[in-house]
Amino acid sequence: MLSATITPAQIRAGRGLLRWTQGVLAHRAAVSVVTLNMIESDQVAPRAKTLDAIRSVLEGEGIRFIGDADEGFGVVMRPRTDAAARSDRPAPRQRKRGPQQEKQQEKTSRSMRADT
């Protein structure tokens, strides 16, 4: 179990740096969106196990929680390598072409060939 607690603002900030919706973080941390929303809006005192799950997911994505009660709390995002950033992105989806698009592609391909 992780010892240091995190604040609702830190969770929101970490999620914001990753450009994640509440749904993405909730899914990855195995909590409900409603629970995450209540935690982020400071409407509930979350269980330590829930905060540990959220913290673990965010830290696994490069978010580092900093500060203390005297200095204030915050988050920073560690730089990621290009290979790590690419591995997390889903592969681009290929659109299926209909018969009309195939014919158009065929015409375009032929018309762009250099005649020798």
Sequence ranges of the domains in the chain: 8-87
Under-50 pLDDT residues of the chain: 1-3, 83, 86-87, 89, 91-92, 108-116
Query: Residue 5: its pLDDT value, please?
Result: 86
Query: Residue 114: its pLDDT value, please?
Result: 45
Q: What's the chain's length in residues? A: 116
Query: Residue 101: its pLDDT value, please?
Result: 58
Q: What pTM does this model have?
A: 0.67
Q: How far apart are CA 94 and CA 32, in angstroms?
A: 32
Architecture (CATH level 2) of domain 8-87 = Orthogonal Bundle (1.10)
Q: To 10 degrees, the CA torsion angle through 51, 21, 76, 67?
A: -40
- Token representation of residue 45: 């005192």
